[in-house]
Amino acid sequence: MNDTQKIGAYLCQGCGLGERLDSARLAEVATQGGAAVVRKHDYLCSNEGVSLIRDDIKQQGVTHVVIGACSRRAKTEAFNFDFDSTQGAPAVALARANLREGVIWSQPHRDDESESESESTSARETTQEMADDYVRMGCAEVKFMRPPTRAAESESENGGGNRRILVVGGGISGLTAALESARAGYAVLLVEKRAQLGGWSRDLYRHLPQQEPYAHPQANHVGELIKQVQAERNITLFLHATITRTSGAPGRFSVDITRAANAPGKALAPVTENVGAIVQASGFSRYDANQLPQFAYGKTADVVDQMELERLFKTADEHAATKGAAGASHPNRAPIKRPSDGKAITSVIFVQCAGQRSQQAGHLPYCSGYCCNVSLKQAMYFKRRDPAIDTNVIYRDLRVPGHGEDFYRSAQQQGVAFTNGEVKQVRVEGDQLAVHFHDHILAEDAIANADLVVLATGQVPNSGAVLANAAASPAAAHNSDKQNAAPPRAADSPAQAAQVTVSVESILNLDYRQGADLPHLKHGFSDSHFLCFPYETRRTGIYACGPVRRPMDIQQAMEDATGAALKAIQAVENAGLGRAAHPRSGDLSFPSFRRDGCTQCKRCTVECPFGAIDEDEDGYPQFNESRCRRCGTCMGACPVRVISFDNYSVDTVGQQIKAIDMPDEFDEKPRILILACENDAYPALDMAAHNRLEYNAFVRVIPIRCLGSVNAIWVTDALSAGFDGIMLMGCKKGEDYQCHFVTGAELAHERMGKIDDTLNQLQLEPQRVRTLEVEITDLERVPKLINDYAAEIDAIGMNPFKGF
């Protein structure tokens, strides 16, 4: 708050606001709240209404704007006054008072003849009181906001301007991401650890069909994709190379690329390159079939996995072509020999879910998704060579979604047999393999003989290094960090994640205190927000795609890589403008702290979900604005409240709480405060209002960036001010979290779990503070939650602090 600010309050009359609310009374409330300019307009979002505001900014010197109209989620483009150089207007601080969704739509007008005149008058007055409070809250909030400014690092000589994109991994995902980025006009560095591009897809004999009629395997097209990448001028290749160090942030990553020398075990001096964003397309490794001794893998060469069968076919064709055999002009007819003795193969059994979908130690607990279609494809290989070859797919569940259903029907028509069962064991009996399985249809055990058994093993992500038994929750990580002056670099896993005991080589070698690679999900895949932001990771400006993110086939991986390339492009452009990444894309604010009040407790550095805060040489927080997602988790963590943003702080929320008119206990008008996450809970409230679903009129809603940004002082102040109840509405937490900022909801639950001490000190009931998980689709559930809680508060009684 400063003496040079000039507040302008603008009240919309459209969408029924003018008919339902006393606009003259709202104007008076705004004036009392400090507004020097107060104006009303029939439709504030119209060109005329927006021009009215712009003119006051330019001519009247308005620096802080309060808009009393619709939700802050609506008309964001119309009410955007940040760096409006085209209109000649300076940036202003902006607050929104939600009078439409938050008041008149959540309190639908009823023409009920049974309602008495006094009851109707009371309802109108209560609705007006809601509107009055939201205008007060808007004026109080904007006083403690500052017009947004660009982060200094985005304007610096070396910061924010690098638009090159690094792609790590030269398989099908990496090739696609590199090519899509390059064709969009961006310079790309493509790093591949092998001596040649293509990854596993290079070794495939045929690909799954990617076009109509989805009936037959199609030629391997990765060679053509490699040629396109090699011919692209915007792509620089680094083969036989790895990333040995990554530091920096979006727009200014510094990466050391180390190439292998010709001599074994030797490496050339690293080359340092600067890039703006990173796409990790490090792919997958084959599940080790040696962990399946019950299927005779390793005991006989006639039990192979799917990739080994691909090579078998590819080698047979290459051999036939080289020798000029009769099948050379028709490679699909080159005979396939049994690996053990070279005899012709007459029968093949495909074992699905080999080492997958199992909780047994050493097995993969998940489905790799692509294996069923691959078995169909490989069964067709044999049928194309010789229709007389007996091919049998033994499956638990055949998962071939989408056009895979057409592919499945084609396999049936070609004579591929399918048996619903579960293979228990494979034995070598003479020159035959005996497959012991339980037939689910006949409900009995059975044995089938075959010349060759193919195991459908799964994908294991190449997601990089992670410490064994890493901390399972942010709280545990915080405690560990406090005990170690120089804590080990461990991946910060989501709450309740399974302990990881597999150590692999690092992919990115990040110079982050939180770990050398991207955080992992419990099965080792790179962590991302599956529902809303599938390519986003917990390291801003670094995007995962392909099987490192989740199991997928080639077509899915190519689509995934295109999405990640688009996100990388968005990242470099945002970084150049000093803007935040998703989900607050475009936000120009960034955190700052008051050094003289900092106690160096490290809670902000440890609890930041995105590795955006380090410590300087004196132990004080060092904020990296380009890595920051603007969630405010650091603000909620700070016990001394010295961290803030230009447009979001302890004061901007705290002053709204204090501005709400608090009736005394004799008025019998309770007040319930709702702190609603802007990503899920607040949209759910808006959508409930759009559907005219009514909820209690005594609530006052304050949208917050994330439940993780809630500072305990807000709860204490609200209870001390006389609020009868407080509802904290955030996203789902846990293994399948939906929190847009990953750990915010979990941290809030942990922090509020300790609020009982405060309630005991105030001699208040524990029910007066409630933390809830709300999804964006809960538009019908949210009003019920509010109304049920209001009834519970009514039963408890008024807060005894009212009136003090």
* Burial zone of 714 (CB within 10 Å; 0-12 exposed, 13-18 middle, 19+ buried): buried
Q: Which residues pair with 9 in a beta bridge?
A: 38, 66
Note the pLDDT of residue 262: 75
pLDDT band (50, 70, 90) for residue 471: very low
With 60 as the cut, is the pLDDT of residue 159 above it? no
Nearest partner of 664 among 718, 713, 702, 721, judged by Cα: 721
Residue 215 tokens, joined: 């009936």
| Single-letter code of the amino acid located at 784 | K
Q: How far is 652 from 632, CA to CA, in rounded Å? A: 13
Nearest partner of 45 among 2, 84, 15, 19, judged by Cα: 15
Mean pLDDT of the chain, nearest integer = 88
Q: Give the residue-averaged pLDDT of 197-217.
A: 94
pLDDT band (50, 70, 90) for residue 436: very high
* 3-class secondary structure per residue, 330-356: CHHHCCCECCCCCCECCEEEEECCCCE
Nearest partner of 75 among 20, 154, 10, judged by Cα: 10
Residue 269 tokens, joined: 């001096």
CA quadruple 651, 607, 583, 367: dihedral sign: negative
Q: Around Cβ 61, how many Cβ atoms within 10 Å? A: 14
Q: Which residues pair with 237 in a beta bridge?
A: 190
pLDDT band (50, 70, 90) for residue 186: very high
Q: How far is 419 from 751, CA to CA, in rounded Å? A: 53
CA quadruple 64, 68, 71, 77: dihedral sign: negative
Q: Tell which wins on pLDDT, 773 or 330.
A: 773
With 70 as the cut, is the pLDDT of residue 154 above it? no
CA quadruple 505, 511, 517, 520: dihedral sign: positive
Q: What string of DSSP letters covers 606-663?
A: HH-TTS-EEE-TTS-EEE-TTT-----HHHHH-TT--EEBTTB-HHHHHHHHHHS---
Taking each helix axis from N to C terminus, what angle separates 650-659 and 712-721, rounded to the nearest 10 degrees? 10
Q: How far is 186 from 171, CA to CA, in rounded Å? A: 20
Residue 451 tokens, joined: 């010349």
Note the pLDDT of residue 491: 37
Q: How far is 326 from 333, CA to CA, in rounded Å? A: 9
With 50 as the cut, is the pLDDT of residue 157 above it? no
With 90 as the cut, is the pLDDT of residue 148 above it? no
Q: State percent of the chain over pLDDT 90.
A: 71
Q: Which residues pair with 705 in a beta bridge?
A: none
Residue 530 tokens, joined: 């599956």
Cβ atoms 705, 629 nearer than 8 A: no
Using one digit for the tens of pLDDT, what is the confidence trace for 750-803? 988 888 887 888 789 999 999 999 999 999 999 999 999 999 999 999 998 887
Q: How far is 550 from 530, CA to CA, in rounded Å? A: 9
Q: Give the residue-averaged pLDDT of 242-263.
A: 92
Helices (H) and strands (E) in the chain, counts: 20, 31
Residue 347 tokens, joined: 């029968």
Phi, psi of 184, rounded to the nearest 5 degrees: -85, 0
Q: Give the residue-averaged pLDDT of 350-363.
A: 94
Q: Which residues pair with 434 in a beta bridge?
A: 427, 449
Q: How far is 323 from 165, CA to CA, in rounded Å? A: 45
**785, containing H or E segment:** helix 781-796
Rg (CA), the chain: 31
Using one digit for the tens of pLDDT, what is the confidence trace for 474-522? 333 333 333 333 323 333 433 333 333 344 689 999 998 888 999 888 7
With 90 as the cut, is the pLDDT of residue 312 above it? yes
Cβ atoms 460, 551 nearer than 8 A: no
Cβ atoms 471, 490 nearer than 8 A: yes
Q: Is 556 helix (H, G, I), strand (E, B) or coil?
A: helix
Q: How far is 621 from 203, CA to CA, in rounded Å? A: 49
Q: How far is 511 from 529, CA to CA, in rounded Å? A: 23
Note the pLDDT of residue 593: 92
Q: Give the residue-averaged pLDDT of 610-623.
A: 91
* C-alpha 105 chain-centroid distance: 31
| Single-letter code of the amino acid located at 236 | T
Q: Which residues pair with 309 in a beta bridge?
A: none
The C-alpha torsion from 715 through 721 and 723 to 729, rounded to 10°, is -30
Nearest partner of 208 among 402, 459, 389, judged by Cα: 402
Nearest partner of 386 among 415, 363, 406, 364, judged by Cα: 415
Q: Tell which wins on pLDDT, 109 or 450.
A: 450
* C-alpha 335 chain-centroid distance: 49
With 90 as the cut, is the pLDDT of residue 665 above it? no
Which range among 336-340, 387-391, 462-466, 583-587 has the greatest average pLDDT? 387-391
| DSSP secondary structure code for residue 190 in this structure | E
Using one digit for the tens of pLDDT, what is the confidence trace for 78-115? 998 864 444 445 689 999 999 999 999 999 876 554 55
What global pTM score does this model have? Answer: 0.87
Among 118-127, 205-214, 366-375, the least confident range: 118-127
Q: What string of DSSP letters covers 201-268?
A: GGG-SEE---STT--S-EE--HHHHHHHHHH-TTEEEEESEEEEEEES-TT-EEEEEEEBPSSTT-BP
Q: Which residues contact 254 (CB under 8 A, 6 or more apart)?
A: 245, 246, 247, 248, 272, 273, 274
Nearest partner of 456 among 360, 348, 547, judged by Cα: 348
pLDDT band (50, 70, 90) for residue 263: low
Q: How far is 707 from 711, CA to CA, in rounded Å? A: 9
Nearest partner of 46 among 69, 30, 18, 19, judged by Cα: 69
Q: How far is 739 from 159, CA to CA, in rounded Å? A: 30
Note the pLDDT of residue 318: 85
Using one digit for the tens of pLDDT, what is the confidence trace for 276-301? 999 999 999 999 999 999 999 999 99
With 70 as the cut, is the pLDDT of residue 652 above it? yes
* Burial zone of 647 (CB within 10 Å; 0-12 exposed, 13-18 middle, 19+ buried): buried
CA quadruple 524, 526, 527, 532: dihedral sign: negative
* C-alpha 226 chain-centroid distance: 30
Q: State percent of the chain over pLDDT 70.
A: 89
Note the pLDDT of residue 90: 65
Cβ atoms 673, 700 nearer than 8 A: yes
Q: How far is 145 from 92, CA to CA, in rounded Å? A: 9
Q: Around Cβ 257, how many Cβ atoms within 10 Å? A: 19
**317, containing H or E segment:** helix 306-323
Q: Which residues pair with 204 in a beta bridge?
A: none
Cβ atoms 706, 744 nearer than 8 A: yes
Q: Which residues contact 32 (CB under 8 A, 6 or more apart)?
A: none
